[in-house]
Structures are given as C-alpha cells and as structure tokens.
A and B are shown apart, each in its own frame.
Chain A
Amino acid sequence: MRVRVLIRPKEGILDPQGQAVERALPALGYDDVSNVHVGRLVELDVAGDGDVEAQVREMCERLLANPLIESYEVQAIG
C-alpha cells in the first residue's frame, strides 16, 4: 500500500518557517494570505497484510514525527 504522511507543526507551536513564508507572500502581491504553516511530507510503500495505517501511525509516533511538537495525518493513496 502506498501511504502518505503529512506532518505539521502542532497548533500553537512556534512556526517561524510558516511566518517567514507568510511575510514573503505580500511582496508578490498576495495580500490576502494568512495562517501559513510549513510541514513535511513522507510517502512510503508498505508491503504485507494487516492494518497498514495503524502500522504507519506507530511509525509516526516512534520516528516520523515528534508528537510533542508535531501533528501527523496518514492517508492511503493507492
């Protein structure tokens, strides 16, 4: 199964990268943009039976994300 993991800074966590992007956009004329956050995308193939999504969520808890500062979302994409 092909799985996509979206990792974002947790709500309320300082996101200077998102802030920097948000400050840069008006310079290009995009004045109506707010709430910009920058995260990470991980895509992986997982072979085998069983609950793949549960397995990937475990990977997120243990390695792919740091649950203290990041939230994650697991999507099956094929």
Chain B
Amino acid sequence: MSARVGIVLFPGSCDEHDALLAVERAGLEPEYLWHADPDLKGVDAVIVPGGFSYGDYLRVGAIARFAPVMEEVSRFAVEGGPVLGICNGFQVLCEAHLLPGALLPNNSLRFVCRQVDVVVEHDRTVFTRASEPGEVLSLPVKHTTGCWFAPAEQLDQLEANGQLVLRYAAGHNPNGSTRDVAGVSNEAGNVLGLMPHPEHATDALTGSTDGLRLFTALSPVAA
C-alpha cells in the first residue's frame, strides 16, 4: 500500500492541486485536510501548500498557525511525522515554531517569479534522503515574502546541525535570504520548509521534473 499524504487546505491556499498531482506522480495517495477539522485522517505525511492563507492578514502565516488542523499537524510533527511546508506553508511552519527563523519581505520589495537553481546541502531529512548532497534542483519560485531570516547567534548552530538543507546556487538567490537559504529543516529532519515550489516542477512540459524527488522520497514512509 502506498503512503497517504495529507494536503492542508486553508482559506486562501492556491497550490494544493499541484501538490496533489505531485503526490500522485510520486506514486503516493493524496488526501485533502480541511483547516477547520482537527483531524489528519491517519495520513503518513503532511504537506502545507502555498497560497495566501487567511489573506496573509497581519503577517504571512500568522493566522493560519492557529487553525484547528495546525494543532494536529504540530502534534504529528513533534512525534516525528514528515511535514513539508512549501512557500506560504513554509511561512506557516515558521510561525508555528516547527521550523527556525521567519520570512521577511524580499529585499527587492518585488514579487519574484522565476526558475532558480537550488542546491541540496544535506540528505538527512525525510524529503531529501533520495537526493545526493550537492545535487542541483531546478525549481520555480513565486513569492513576495521569501527572505528567510534567523538571528546571527542561531545560524552557526543551524549550520552545524545540518538544518540549512537547501540553498540557492550562487547568483540565484531571488529574495536576499540569509546565507542564501532556500529551505530549512527542524533538528530531527522530519519537518522541511522551502520557498521554491517542487510541486510545480513535476512535469517536463513546464521545464523541470526535479521537484518530484522530494515527494518520491516519501514512499518508504508507510512501510
């Protein structure tokens, strides 16, 4: 039986369908999870997709963090369940303190939408275990608030722990993020958040299928 992957739906989510397709293309079974239901339906992994949850009011991800489903997602994450936050999902996971740091407005103050090269620095997370360190993924970014930040005193520890999992290749940083970070994990490696969109890079028709690797890495989870 293939792993079942839950995809959280907030009011204002907009990338859930591509996340669903990515999960299917990885040979896994997708299932939507409604923000108001504190129920993960027994899934083996959770994706918090991109979009504009709750209109991004107040601060990106700030309101979504208190949705009933998020309490269950937090519990699941703390127990070691795989959780992937993409773009707005990454912002939500930072606000929920499941991931270190916070997302600031892009240093250009502009919305960026382009294909970037992302280097996989570590294969220690559930989502990058099928990748080789140093591997380069071509993924699209599309965001206004993607400049990941963590206080200087935390950075070296995160680096030493191997939590700065994904980095923009030289010259590809679209938002001014600290140390060119594109994605970070929690210490245990079961929660990963990233600004680029692997779910939009699963079909050769749109330029790259590199994103699929993060999803296929989930297959042994149900075993």
Contact = CB atoms under 8 A, between A and B. Distances in A.
Contact of B106 (A16, A64, A69): A16
Interface stretch (B67-75, B97-105, B185-193): B97-105
A63 B66 contact: yes
A66 B105 contact: no
Interface string A47-70: 000000000000000011010110
Contacts of A14: 104, 107, 147, 149, 176
A43 to B, nearest CB: 14
B101 A66 contact: no
A17 B109 CA distance: 7
A16 B95 CA distance: 21
A54 B104 CA distance: 27
Given A64-B58, A69-B149, A16 B108 contact: yes
In the complex, which range does the number of interface residues on chain B fall in? 10 to 19
A14 B108 CA distance: 11
Nearest to B176: A14
Nearest to A70: B59
B112 interface: no
B220 interface: no
Contacts of B149: 13-14, 68-69
A18 B30 CA distance: 43
B136 interface: no
A68 B108 contact: no
A25 interface: no
A16 B146 CA distance: 13
Contacts of A16: 105-109
* Most chain B beta carbons < 10 A, residue from A20, A64, A66: A66
B62 interface: yes
Nearest to B66: A63
A69 B107 CA distance: 15
Given A20-B109, A66-B95, A13 B62 contact: no
Interface in B108-126: 108-109
A64 B149 CA distance: 19
Nearest to B149: A69
In the complex, the 6 A-B pairs of residues with the closest C-beta atoms, listed nearest first: A16-B109, A69-B102, A68-B102, A16-B107, A66-B102, A16-B105
26 contacts: A13-B104, A14-B104, A14-B107, A14-B147, A14-B149, A16-B105, A16-B106, A16-B107, A16-B108, A16-B109, A17-B105, A17-B109, A20-B109, A63-B58, A63-B62, A63-B66, A64-B58, A66-B59, A66-B95, A66-B102, A68-B149, A68-B150, A68-B151, A69-B102, A69-B104, A69-B149
